[in-house]
Structure 1
Amino acid sequence: MKVMLTINGLVVEAHYSDKEIADVHLPLLRKLADRKTIPSHKRKIIFLSAPPGTGKSTLTAFWEYLARQDPLLPDIQTLPMDGFHHYNDWLEEHGLRPFKGAPETFNVDKLAKNLELIRDGDGEWPQYDRQRHDPIENAIRVMAPVVIVEGNWLLLDDDNWRSLEPYCDSSLFIQAPTDTLRERLIARKCAGGLSANEARAFYLRTDGPNVERVLAHSRPADITLTMTESGEYRFS
């Protein structure tokens, strides 16, 4: 299947085989959308954690699309974690601006408060502005009965990020070969205008350590997918 998806304001062409959709994506969505253990007045919150380069944004946009095509599935809404970056002024003050994207550069307390609010009713969610490189508050209206919060650090095994556990009804993790992620992330930076040397330097400074930290220090998820070298997904 070829489908055009809108991600961060850009239209992206995505491709998924019919076999992968039938064997992986639809069964997974039916499982994630199951609300048997969730009180009827509460929203189901799913954490999707994965290292950079695993295609989280495209994948979850595709899941939203699939859910809209299936009358047996509820609406599913993706909520990116990037809107909970600390503002650049705060990062500068704490010497963390060069490490933006690392777990220490996110406002976890603010994320917990937003999760608490949306669990019991409709609410607002911030979005990261890639032009201003800062969050925009209340940019997303949360309305779907099932939401997928996606980010790198949601299952990080430390006290700060473990504080989010009470808001997670189901968790999902994506594994991937580090060599594949390195190639994808360097290619992404080159496509964004960096030279090959600049892209490799960025990977060594930022993306590479984040990939290793996510893969090595994330808590086990309820469901794990593996992204193959070709970019397909399968159950682990």
Structure 2
Amino acid sequence: MDFMALVHQAQALAQSGQRRILGLVGAPGAGKSTIAERLLAALGEQAVLVPMDGFHLANVELARLGRSARKGAPDTFDVAGYVALLQRLRRQGADEIIYAPTFRREIEEPIAGAIPILERTPLVITEGNYLLLPELGWQQVRPLLDLSCYLAVPDLVRRERLCWRHQQFGRSPAEAEAWVLSTDEPNAERIAAHRHLADLELSLD
């Protein structure tokens, strides 16, 4: 499937007359945020973006749990909070505003209450790594999605993007490569193992 086919699918969801949720899933560096922003540009006021990354545990909590070196792994997110938000969005009441968190890469921390979702917005786009993971609480996410799309990117391209991203936010080239190989890649393999659970697949290069 190409990007315009995904746009048409998203437009059909937005025009269904009910609140719909579209999930974009892929490994770190797959381009989830970029595709989500392009969808928003195509759909305008019909859609809003709610990123899974807003549910990263804070750095102080990761340190307390001893998980700082694995930041980005499935157990470094508040999955119950993410599921609860998706459930609220499915049953949002008239004139109710629901606030979602976002994630700021420049400080590597989630920010609460940053994204207002209005009841009149028909489509919620959510993007993240673990929307298809069938364990650790993440199995509750997929039934809340009306449509899921896996973003497939060549591994070499994806790893190059990740190394560049980590360097942009303060790591040296050697530190960036080490983090990609030790942390991002094990997560990527876990995510790719469940790509068959997606409704659609978008191939990117």
TM over 0.5: yes
Partner-residue secondary structure (3-state), 1:46: strand
- Structure 1: stretches of 5+ with no match in the other structure: 1-22, 69-73, 229-236
User: Quick check: which one's helix share is greater?
Assistant: 2
Indicate if the aligned counterparts of 1:153 and 1:218 stay in contact, CA closer than 8 A: no
Q: Is residue 116 of structure 1 aligned with residue 87 of structure 2?
A: yes
Q: Is residue 25 of structure 1 aligned with residue 3 of structure 2?
A: yes
Question: Which of 193, 198, 202 is 1:216 aligned to?
Answer: 193
Alignment of 1:9-48 (within 5 A): 24-35=2-13, 40=17, 42-48=18-24
Number of residue-to-residue matches in the alignment: 199
Mapped to 1, the partners of 2:38 and 2:15 lie a distance apart of: 25
Larger radius of gyration: 1
Alignment of 1:74-153 (within 5 A): 75-121=46-92, 122-143=97-118, 144-153=121-130
Q: Is residue 195 of structure 1 aligned with residue 172 of structure 2?
A: yes
Which runs of at least 4 in structure 1 moved beyond 4 Å after TM superposition?
none
Compute the RMSD of aligned alpha carbons.
Answer: 2.2
Task: Provide TM-score, normalisation by structure 2.
Answer: 0.87
Task: Provide TM-score, normalisation by structure 1.
Answer: 0.76
Mapped to 1, the partners of 2:170 and 2:15 lie a distance apart of: 47
The aligned counterpart of 2:131 is 154
- Structure 2: stretches of 5+ with no match in the other structure: none
Indicate if the aligned counterparts of 2:74 and 2:136 stay in contact, CA closer than 8 A: no
Indicate if the aligned counterparts of 1:46 and 1:171 stay in contact, CA closer than 8 A: yes
Mapped to 1, the partners of 2:204 and 2:192 lie a distance apart of: 13
- Quote how far apart the aligned CAs of 1:215 are: 1.1
Partner-residue secondary structure (3-state), 2:175: helix
Q: Deviations over 1:87-141 (max 9, x none)?
A: 2232122111111111110111111111111112241101123344322211100
Partner-residue secondary structure (3-state), 1:53: coil
Please tell me the residue identity of whatever aligns with 2:134: D
Partner-residue secondary structure (3-state), 1:34: helix
Question: Which of 148, 151, 168 is 2:145 aligned to?
Answer: 168
- Quote how far apart the aligned CAs of 1:37 are: 10
